[in-house]
Amino acid sequence: MQIRYECFVGLPPESLLQGLIQVHQRVFSGQTSEELRQEFEEVSNRNLFTILALDDQTVVGYKMGYPRKPGHFYSWLGAVSPDYRRQGIAGELMRQQHNWCRANGFHTVRTHTRNQWRDMLILNLRHGFDIIGTIANSNRPTTLILEKQLDSEQP
């Protein structure tokens, strides 16, 4: 199996967007395809950057983010299909996102996660993120805020 990566400024074409939504729904629960599509379209107005991991034409992982202020990028969502985990796909998606950020003048990447998604938390820590704060909400688990300073060198 040869995984290839494709980058899009904005949303990917419809056939790939549907695959992204399917991966998202396998990993995260709570939103219909239409709700996700609407949310993605709303966020695409923020100069969304999307990277897909593909096995042939099948979306097996993705990473999305957007500028949050000058020089700062927010890594918003990402997931890898359970069938494709432990193959370095999430790390490669992150590496490509950070390379794109450097090339486009960003010096800081921020993301949020929760303790329940430990694999993502560990991946972020291994790739140089620091926990810089938390967001407490009585209705949901505490959200961890992580941030990474990008240097000019590529990893």
The pTM score is: 0.91
Contact present, 3 and 60 (Cβ < 8 Å) = yes
Q: Domain spans of the chain?
A: 3-149
What are phi and psi for residue 123, nearest 5 degrees?
A: -60, -45
CA 148 to CA 40: how far, in whole Å?
A: 24
CA 98 to CA 1: how far, in whole Å?
A: 25
Residue 151, burial from CB neighbour count under 10 angstroms (0-12, 13-18, 19+): exposed
> Check: CATH 3.40.630.30 for 3-149?
yes
| 130 three-class SS | strand
Q: What is the pLDDT of residue 152?
A: 57
Contact present, 52 and 92 (Cβ < 8 Å) = no
Cα separations in angstroms, 133 against 66, 116, 141, 146, 149: 20, 17, 14, 7, 15
Q: Give pLDDT tens digits along the chain (155 positions).
A: 699 999 999 999 999 999 999 999 999 878 899 999 999 999 988 999 999 999 999 999 999 999 999 999 999 999 999 999 999 999 999 999 999 999 999 999 999 998 778 888 999 999 999 999 999 887 888 899 999 999 855 55
Secondary structure letter of residue 109 according to DSSP: E
| 113 three-class SS | strand
Nearest to 134 by CA among 122, 123, 145: 145
